[in-house]
Amino acid sequence: MTEETPGFDEKPDVPSGATPDDAEPKDAPSSEGASPAGDAAAAQVAGLTAQLDQVRTALGERTADLQRLQAEYQNYRRRVERDRVVVKEIAIASLLTELLPVLDDIGRAREHGELVGGFKSVAESLETVAAKMGLQQFGKEGEPFDPTIHEALMHSYAPDVTETTCVAILQPGYKFGERNLRPARVAVAEPQPGAQATPESGDAADGKESGGPEEG
């Protein structure tokens, strides 16, 4: 005779009045209970959208600031480069101006045939260096007188000119780029007074000699 193990055939106690279905787990909440969670998600999305708009606005402002700074920097670079060129031109012009008396001495020595030997080589080298730096000589006999680049030291009349003309270059002028370092000092000649009326008076004289129509 076997012994029965107590408790295997026994059923769990069920409270009185409870149905077997009450022991089963309850179903998940209905869809009506999920609406608070959906509202929270929508609010979170709205907050993220607002933050994104703020970030985009800040990015646009920083981009505009960067573009403005870049434009100012480019203007600053152009201004510095322009000032650097101007300062360089002023320095070269000042140096060349100081050399003009030396070049005048070289020119006079050449006119008198004294530019010989080692002095000639040094003088020509100096003139070559000055030309490479941009020094230009101007002023020629026979060109019209221009008060902006010529300085008249002598004045006369000549029958073979039709306008005020440079007839002699007493001292050449020099310029560097658009800068006039020194005007050309010249002697000028003007047409003789009444020279233009001579042909007309000659025609009148010819008319008298040939005899014109008699007055009625």
- Report pLDDT digits (tens) over 92-110: 999 999 999 999 999 999 9
184-191 and 150-158 strand pairing? parallel
Tokens representing residue 216 in the block: 């009625």
Does some domain include residue 210? no
Specify burial of residue 120 (Cβ count, 10 A radius: 0-12, 13-18, 19+): middle
Residues 157-165, mean pLDDT to the nearest whole number: 91
22 within some domain: no
Does the pLDDT at position 205 exceed 50? Answer: no
Angle subtended at Cα 76 by Cα 71 and Cα 79, rounded to the nearest 5 degrees: 125
Q: Do 151 and 123 share a structural domain?
A: no
CB 208 within 8 A of CB 176: no
Number of domains in the chain: 2
CA 92 to chain centre: 21
Residues 126 and 175 in one domain: no
Tell me how far CA of residue 151 lies from CA of 14, 154, 155, 202, in angstroms: 133, 9, 11, 37
pLDDT of residue 146: 94
Confidence bin at 213 (pLDDT 50/70/90): very low
Give the pLDDT of residue 37. 74
- Within a domain: 34: no
Report the pLDDT averaged over residues 73-90.
93
Q: 214 in a domain, yes or no?
A: no
Phi-psi region of 40 (alpha: psi -120 to 50; beta: other; left: phi over 0): alpha
Residues in a beta bridge with 156: 189
pLDDT digits (tens, 9 = 90+) for 2-11: 455 455 455 5
Residue 40 has a pLDDT of 81
Do 98 and 145 reside in the same domain of the chain?
no
Q: Is 4 domain-assigned?
A: no
Beta-bridge partner residues of 168: 187
Residue 36 confidence (pLDDT): 72
The answer to whether residues 107 and 157 belong to one domain is: no
Judge whether residue 127 has pLDDT over 60. yes
Q: What is the DSSP letter of 144?
A: B
Compute φ and ψ for 19, nearest 5 degrees: -90, 160
Q: Residue 24 falls within a domain, yes or no?
A: no
Residues 47 and 111 in one domain: yes
* 16-30, 86-100, 175-189: range with lowest mean pLDDT: 16-30
Among residues 133, 164, 194, the one where a domain terminates is: 133
Residue 15 has pLDDT above 70, yes or no: no
At 164-186, the pLDDT tens digits run 999 999 999 999 998 999 999 99
> What is the β-pairing status of strands 179-182 and 150-158?
unpaired
- Domain of 73? 42-133
86: pLDDT strictly greater than 60: yes
Please identify, among 133, 159, 179, the residue that sits at the C-terminal boundary of a domain: 133
Closest CA to 156 of 119, 118, 186, 115: 186
Distance of CA 113 to the CA centre of its chain: 48
